[in-house]
C-alpha cells in the first residue's frame, strides 16, 4: 500500500527533480517488497493513492474535488514501475472509472463513491468487484453505484418553477441558477431554501438584458439619490434591477 503524498512533502524530500526521483524510489521500494513477499502461493495486489498514467498516454485530468498532486505535467507515477508479480492494482485519486493497465494486469481507478464537485454532475460512480486466485489473472466487474444524492445543475426563470422542481426532486444536491429581471427578494430566497435541503448554490442571473460591467459612463451626482442607488446596484449585480423591497429599505436609511 502506498498512501497519498502532497506537493510540499515531495519537494522537501526530493528537491526540484520530484518526478524522476519519486518514480525511482517507488520502483525500487515496490520491487524490493514484491521480491520478498509476492509469490505464487498468494494473491498479490497493490493499493495506492497516486496520480498514475502510462508513459506517452494522454494526460488524465485531476478532479476539482481533489487537491492537485501535480503542477504542470510533473509528479506522474508511471504504470511501468508496477512490479511484474502484481496481479491487480487498485488506485485512488481520479474520480472517474478507468483501467489504465491491461486486461491481464488491470490498473484500475474505480472512481469516487460520490460526486465531489459539479464538474462530475451526472457522472455514474462505480466499484470494482474482483475475483483473484494465486498465480492466475484477476477478473473484475464494474458495478454501478445507485444510492447517494445526485449532483444537478438547474436553471429556472421563475420562483414558482424553481420551487415546483425542488419539491419533486428532494433526493438531489443542486446548483440553482435563477434568471430574473430584478434581484431575488428575501422572502423568495427563503421560500426556495425551505423547499429543499440540498441547495449547494443559488445563483441569481439577469434575464433579457445586455450588460457590460466594464462599460464606462459618467456619473451625474446631481441626479436623484434613489436613481443613483438603482444605477449603482445594477453595476454591482450584473445589470439586475433592485426590487421594491430593497428600494424601500434604501429610502428608510436615506431619510434618517
Q: Which alpha helices (DSSP H) does the chain contain, by range?
A: 7-14, 18-37, 159-168, 186-194, 225-236, 244-255
pLDDT (0 to 100) of residue 63:
62
Domain positions in the chain are 7-144, 150-255
Q: How far apart are the C-alpha atoms of 172 and 170, rounded to whole Å?
A: 6
Average pLDDT, the chain: 83
pLDDT tens digits, 26-57 = 899 999 999 999 999 999 999 998 889 888 88
pLDDT tens digits, 136-191 = 999 999 999 988 888 889 999 999 999 999 999 999 999 999 988 777 888 898 99
CB 82 within 8 A of CB 107: yes
Q: Would you say domain 7-144 falls under CATH 3.40.50.920?
A: no
Predicted TM-score (pTM) of this structure:
0.66
Q: How far apart are the C-alpha atoms of 145 and 10, rounded to whole Å?
A: 34
Instruction: Find residue 64's DSSP bridge partners.
Output: none
> Among residues 25, 28, 34, which one has the least CA distance to residue 5?
25
pLDDT tens digits, 210-245 = 545 444 455 555 667 887 888 878 777 766 778 888
Amino acid at each position: 500500500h502506498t498512501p497519498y503524498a502532497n506537493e510540499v512533502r515531495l519537494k522537501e524530500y526530493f528537491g526540484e527533480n520530484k518526478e524522476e526521483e519519486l518514480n525511482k524510489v517507488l520502483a525500487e521500494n515496490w520491487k524490493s517488497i514484491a521480491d520478498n513477499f509476492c509469490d505464487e502461493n498468494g494473491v498479490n495486489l497493490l493499493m495506492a493513492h497516486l496520480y498514475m498514467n502510462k508513459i506517452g498516454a494522454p494526460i488524465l485530468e485531476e478532479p476539482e474535488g481533489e487537491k492537485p498532486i501535480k503542477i504542470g505535467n510533473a509528479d506522474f507515477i508511471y504504470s511501468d514501475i508496477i512490479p511484474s508479480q502484481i496481479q491487480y492494482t487498485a488506485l485512488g485519486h481520479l474520480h472517474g472509472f478507468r483501467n489504465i493497465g491491461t486486461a491481464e494486469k488491470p490498473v484500475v481507478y474505480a472512481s469516487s463513491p460520490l460526486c465531489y464537485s459539479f464538474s462530475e454532475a451526472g457522472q455514474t460512480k462505480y466499484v470494482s468487484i474482483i475475483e483473484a486466485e494465486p498465480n492466475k489473472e484477476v477478473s473484475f466487474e464494474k458495478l454501478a453505484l445507485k444510492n447517494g444524492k445526485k449532483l444537478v445543475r438547474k436553471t429556472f426563470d421563475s420562483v414558482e418553477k424553481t420551487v415546483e422542481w425542488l419539491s419533486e426532486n428532494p433526493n438531489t444536491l443542486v446548483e440553482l441558477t435563477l434568471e430574473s429581471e430584478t434581484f431575488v427578494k428575501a422572502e423568495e430566497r427563503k421560500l426556495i431554501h425551505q423547499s429543499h435541503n440540498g441547495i449547494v448554490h443559488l445563483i441569481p442571473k439577469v434575464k433579457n438584458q445586455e450588460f457590460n460591467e466594464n462599460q464606462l459612463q459618467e456619473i451625474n451626482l446631481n441626479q436623484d439619490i434613489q436613481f443613483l442607488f438603482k444605477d449603482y446596484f445594477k453595476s454591482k449585480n450584473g445589470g439586475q434591477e433592485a426590487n421594491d423591497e430593497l428600494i424601500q429599505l434604501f429610502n428608510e436609511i436615506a431619510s434618517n
